[in-house]
Amino acid sequence: MSAYRTFSRLGALLLLAGAAAVTGCGSGDGQSPPGPSALVGKTYLSTAVTGAQIPGGGPLEVAFPQAGRLTATAGCNRHMGEVTVDSDTMTAGALASTLMACPGPAGQADAWLSDFFAGPLSWQLTGDTLVLRQSRGTVSVTLTQRKDTPLTGTTWTVTSLVTSQAVESSVALEAAKPRLTIAADGAVAGFTGCNDLSGHAAVTGDKIAFTGITTTQKACDAEVTRIERTVLDTLHGSATYRIDGNQLALTNDADPGVGLRLRAD
């Protein structure tokens, strides 16, 4: 009888331990919320703002081009820098920005953006919807993932130059506005920031083979010529492309240290 009581007591303890383990596992629905990696390579546009509204109406565009990096604009300059994202908190580092002057209410959009990202934000991703809430303030923003723009038939404007040292934007680049269009039949037309360009492109998978790229022969100042050189170096031979929303990344295959970041007009 004593042995039976000992066995029964041990069995009860094991059942209780098993029940506690089951209760402590998972969220109850068998699914875990998306982690920070779910944001990488995606761009989101604001659809609703609670609290202080974006001067000029925005929208707020937030992109995560790679792990630990963030770019954002609220309708004026583009801000970029490091971001730390854990399971429920997003904290931007010091954000650099372009220096374009914006007329009217949009001229205050940069101050709004800087204030919004000045402290930690809580974040929640459900499907294509991202909600960002200030931890120290009253502003929350609901954003929806932007769908990808077609590669062909779109005019793409260069926003950043990629070199082996950095991804850089500048006032000169904003003013020069290099652009590129690939037609459905492969015809290439564009502008280097200094000269018009033309040629042909063959798209296979995530590769673009550029051939016969020629330009007009106008002379430009040193900085614009440097911009032109990076554009032409990127389009020399084969390039790998990636589209995220209205953002296009081009990387030269022969020299991966050379590339362009472009935005759909």
pLDDT in tens, 46-84: 999 999 999 999 999 999 988 999 999 999 999 999 999
H-only helix segments in the chain: 2-24, 109-116, 171-176, 222-234
Domain boundary among 88, 122, 145: 145
Tell me: pLDDT of 17 over 60. no
Domain boundary among 93, 122, 145: 145
pLDDT in tens, 111-138: 999 999 999 999 999 999 999 999 888 9
pLDDT in tens, 225-238: 999 999 999 999 99
Q: What is the predicted pLDDT for the residue at 31? A: 62
Q: What is the predicted pLDDT for the residue at 48? A: 97
If you average pLDDT over residues 183-199, what whole number do you get? Answer: 98
Residues 45 and 86 in one domain: yes
Residues contacting 96, CB < 8 A, separation 6+: 79, 80, 81
- The Cα diameter of the chain in Å comes to 103
Global pTM?
A: 0.57
- Domain range enclosing 47: 36-145
* Tokens 């690939």, located at residue: 182
Q: Would residue 12 count as lying in a domain?
A: no
Q: What is the predicted pLDDT for the residue at 55? A: 96
Contact 113, 98 (CB under 8 A): no
Measure the CA–CA gap between 152 and 10, rounded to whole angstroms. 70
Pair of tokens at residue 257: 């240290």
Tell me: pLDDT of 175 over 80. yes
Domain boundary among 101, 123, 145: 145
